[in-house]
């Protein structure tokens, strides 16, 4: 049975890497080692840190569970979630028209696709905390600056991925609607967007998770939310309160991820 009737025999399971591939691998290893050096990697510090880390843990525990502090942090956490949700929703809504312009072969000519995609790339390249700094300058300290930062960050993310989702959507229904004589915009609204909808929902849920994570540190630069409490806790060496903040953030972020995973299966899983 092993003697097959294929004249060439079966192709081998693995390919031997070419000389070029070998050079690429070697170069990659060198670059990684070089990066460790650049990052100031020091075995001494790794060895000496556990005692200091233990010291921090020792001073931070037990976390501050004073009801008054908890209430204050709770309200701050709520504000954080409000910033995240408001910013994400505005960002997601604005992303739809922007993605329509960014998607190739949809309604806009290629040169517009290019410009919009480059703009979205720029938005993503600027870190969310930098956007927060910019908006603090523009609209002043407070949660509104944070919300704007989250919104623009969400546009950078959703604008790009919504566009990719629409480009990847099944072309059949849009061809059939084009064949009825429908205008491009009608075809997009009736066929392309519904076809891409599950992907949109999935992307939007990711964007909301991302927004919650970002919103927890916006306070570091005065853009609202619970981040300010973290900064104050460390600045005043009030490690138990800082620890409470860290634990709260962890619980909230993990819950949001769980919730969004649940929503994803509920909304999309069912529709398969």
Partner 1 sequence: MSVRCIRTQATRSSTISLVTELSVETLVAPARPDQTGAEISAPVLPVDLRVTGLAKSFAGTPIFKDVSFGLSRGEAVAIVGANGTGKSTLLRCLMGLIPADAGAINVLGTDVRNSSSAGLRAMRAQMGLVSQKHNLVPRLSVLSNVVQGLLGQRPGIRHWSQSFAPIASREAALAALEKVGLAHLANRRADRLSGGQSQRVAIARALVGQPKILIADEPTASLDPAAGEDVMDLFFDLARQEGVTVIFISHNIDHALQYGDRVLGLAEGGMPLDSRASSLSAQELRGLYD
Q: Which residues bind partner 1 (CB under 8 A)?
A: 172-173, 175-183, 186-187, 189-191, 194-195, 197, 271
5 vs 265, beta carbon nearer partner 1: 265
2 vs 271, beta carbon nearer partner 1: 271
Spatial separation of the C-alpha atoms in residues 178 and 132, rounded to whole Å: 43
DSSP letter at 50? H
CA 183 to chain centre: 35
Spatial separation of the C-alpha atoms in residues 87 and 143, rounded to whole Å: 10
Shortest distance (Å) from residue 157 CB to partner 1: 24
188 vs 249, beta carbon nearer partner 1: 188
The residue whose two tokens read 């600056």 is: 145
Shortest distance (Å) from residue 272 CB to partner 1: 9
64 vs 174, beta carbon nearer partner 1: 174
Shortest distance (Å) from residue 120 CB to partner 1: 27
Shortest distance (Å) from residue 105 CB to partner 1: 13
Query: Token pair of 77, please?
Result: 């956490």
Nearest Cα to Cα of residue 103 among 168, 151, 176: 168
Spatial separation of the C-alpha atoms in residues 191 and 172, rounded to whole Å: 9
């Amino acid at each position: 049975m092993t003697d097959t009737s294929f004249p060439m025999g079966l192709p081998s399971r693995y390919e031997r890497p070419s000389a070029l591939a070998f050079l690429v691998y070697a170069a990659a290893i060198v670059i990684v080692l070089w990066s460790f050096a650049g990052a100031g990697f020091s075995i001494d510090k790794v060895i000496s840190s556990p005692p200091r880390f233990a010291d921090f843990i020792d001073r931070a525990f037990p976390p501050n569970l004073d009801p008054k502090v908890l209430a204050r942090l709770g309200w701050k956490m709520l504000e954080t979630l409000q910033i995240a949700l408001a910013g994400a929703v505005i960002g997601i809504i604005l992303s739809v028209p922007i993605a329509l312009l960014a998607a190739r072969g949809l309604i806009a000519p290629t040169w517009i696709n290019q410009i919009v995609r480059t703009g979205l790339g720029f938005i993503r390249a600027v870190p969310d905390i930098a956007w927060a700094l910019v908006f603090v300058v523009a609209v002043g300290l407070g949660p509104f600056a944070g919300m704007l930062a989250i919104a623009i960050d969400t546009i950078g993310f959703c604008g790009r991925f919504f566009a990719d989702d629409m480009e990847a959507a099944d072309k059949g229904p849009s061809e059939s609607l084009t064949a009825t004589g429908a205008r491009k915009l009608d075809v997009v609204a009736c066929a392309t967007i519904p076809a891409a909808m599950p992907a949109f929902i999935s992307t939007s849920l990711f964007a909301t998770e991302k927004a919650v994570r970002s919103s927890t540190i916006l306070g570091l630069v005065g853009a609202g939310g619970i981040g300010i409490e973290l900064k104050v806790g460390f600045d005043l060496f009030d490690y138990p309160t800082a620890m409470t903040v860290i634990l709260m953030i962890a619980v909230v972020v993990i819950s949001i991820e769980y919730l969004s995973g649940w929503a994803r299966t509920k909304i999309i899983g069912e529709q398969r």
